[in-house]
Structure 1
């Protein structure tokens, strides 16, 4: 594999966050879904995924960097040690580069000591992979199954729980990279992103909605239809309501982790009709009670 730093376009001193951001940008540009039948993009996508796999794991990154400092080519380091007889890859003891004056007996002793220690280690688990799944507001409320394509082009089904939150990460065990050492495969970590809704917003497990009402409905009170994430319901607007009045529809919010649901908070907004001459004529002759001051307390 070529230099993973060059593949991702980051400096050798890049932080883990910088490496992750570079990978996400390239993976989005080169993803097979965005480049159908483009073999060059598919090959670059595989190289970017392998480079990220090497640099996102602190241990494999350290091994790669050590190989570079020892003077080996871009393939050195993580799984790319010095050759052993006929080009076969084997464990390389970097202490050799600092102990050239020692005898061959000592060097081979180190080599087989390291090999024995390696064989006694439990097989390392495969690398985890990450992907983002964007769903709409109502789908997050109800939950359900969604398909997502992982880095590498493999599609899997994700069961999104009802009441999923923006930024929540779901773990699909065993859906990550295979282990090079014969261990268990890694996991797939799916980050949920929730698209904005035209009318609803979310505050914890509560759903918020601004509801326009007429002057007559606000002044005299009325029963009005209100949209909810479960469908429309009737709501009683109390007589004498002002803009900003908050009404609560219990149990009409998002599901919580405790098996309960939040509420829907409805904010009334009085909306006046345009160019209503009858209303204008009435208001020109109407005088409120002297005790009424809408700006009292300001």
Structure 2
């Protein structure tokens, strides 16, 4: 069975090879994310009709993107993409891709989904997973059986819980917490600057910024070793282990690199394309 990550990886190859397609895709992402946020602000996260309104919005944005991408995609690329999508599990999000999608739609869907708000920002992992259950395609949200790879919805729920646990720990180590905040503030600005350029080398610029942030976090931990040694990282490490199974490559990579290094959970969120804190600075 094909995974959504495989579809997105194929789409990224196509987008990398076509500047016009990238422009159409970026415009669709901007419109979709703005629409998602507007619905959240208007209806509130708890509105029972929010899911159906979001589904209609997703379908409309995907249709507009498909119209804009017409003529920029070869029939061979589109056929191969459809073959991938047909092998995805049958559920709501995948049905949207089948009915409204063309190459680039999975990445577009993912970007819109990242703009969603949910109980994961205020509650624990169980609350977050319950909220993600309708969008879950790996089974973890409903069964709590850990799969080989967490789907995007479950990965984001895990990531939010991981960040919440990390922030709670850093409050108990104020010296370390202050230094971690400085590192994260700097890398947020660096990532925003790189993504604002939108050039072909922006990825390598982002990687360099993340590398510097990892080294800065490591130095901060060495300076505050006494403070961090008294913290109980058991829950943080459990969530980090789950994050290492994320289908989101950036989150998975940071989780694997930052073992027992507080700040890693928040860095993993900043590394995700579409992060709100980074995007907010892109407009400045």
Above 0.5 in TM-score? no
Select the structure of larger CA radius of gyration.
1
Q: Which has the higher helix share?
A: 2
